[in-house]
Amino acid sequence: MGIDVLQRNNVRVTGQGKKTIVFAHGFGCDQQVWNNTITNFEQDYRVVTFDYVGAGNSDKTAYSKERYSTLDGYKQDLLEVCASLEMEGFLFVGHSVSAMIGMLASIEQPGLMEKMVMIGPSPYYMNEPGYNGGFERADIDELLDMMETNYMEWAKYLAPVVMQNEQRPELAEDFEHLLCSNDPMIARQFAEVTFTTDLRDQLDKVAVPTLILQTKFDAIAPAEVGQYVHDHIQGSRLIVMEAVGHNPHLSDSDETVKHIKAYLAE
């Protein structure tokens, strides 16, 4: 390949199990969002975390507007990490947009994954007649404009919307810091790709046993979207969690871990 993918994507491998579990972060995040989650799996699994190019401690010089102008670029990151570690038949946990990136990878390479867990997935974030994605086009445009004109103000606005849990303001503060650690230009492009891509026509191609974790209230991916994903992925299972907000692995890691473990143990 001529590039060190493990270095480019800041790949970290921990744990001591024979079976591999991959955790993939969502938009605006990096692999550190999994820190409280993966400690619960390291005894029984080989655990792989990574940063998409442009996020966290990835090699940002590898970022190209062209490659990452669609989710295929991020899917390619995931597939190249898998190839570098010679992984197949592994377990995949993807949060938010990573649920869709993992889905695309599973469709392209059947047999790559044994089971898939989607946390707060959405195949399309915009409302259409008969489909409630959660946002109007004007909402998305406003969000993207805000990212361009005042990125810090955007992060301050978005963090509490994403996290909910008003009685625990430290959650929103931590998430705001995480958002602010991103390169604004890269984050703006990733946001546009995330919020404008429509993958509804891909859901029925998923052949991997899939668990969908939907929180009780999610301002980014509403309950109807979780139900839509469940309805269109054959044989999938939907669990509505007690947790609220779009990042239950940060706000309620115990409940998140419990559901993932129960599903993987079957």
Q: What letter would DSSP give residue 17?
A: -
List, in sequence order, the alpha helices (H) in 97-210: 97-108, 137-149, 151-163, 169-180, 184-196
Cα–Cα distance, 264 to 114 (Å, whole number) = 10
Say if residues 266 and 49 touch (Cβ distance below 8 Å). Answer: no
Rounded to whole angstroms, the Cα distance separating 196 from 218 reads 18
Which residues are catalytically annotated? 96, 218, 246
Q: For the residues of 59-73, what is the DSSP string, one character each?
A: -GGG--TTGGGSHHH
- 106: Cβ–Cβ under 8 A, 6 or more apart, which residues? 92, 112, 113, 116, 206, 207, 208
Give dist(CA 220, CA 232) in Å, integer: 19
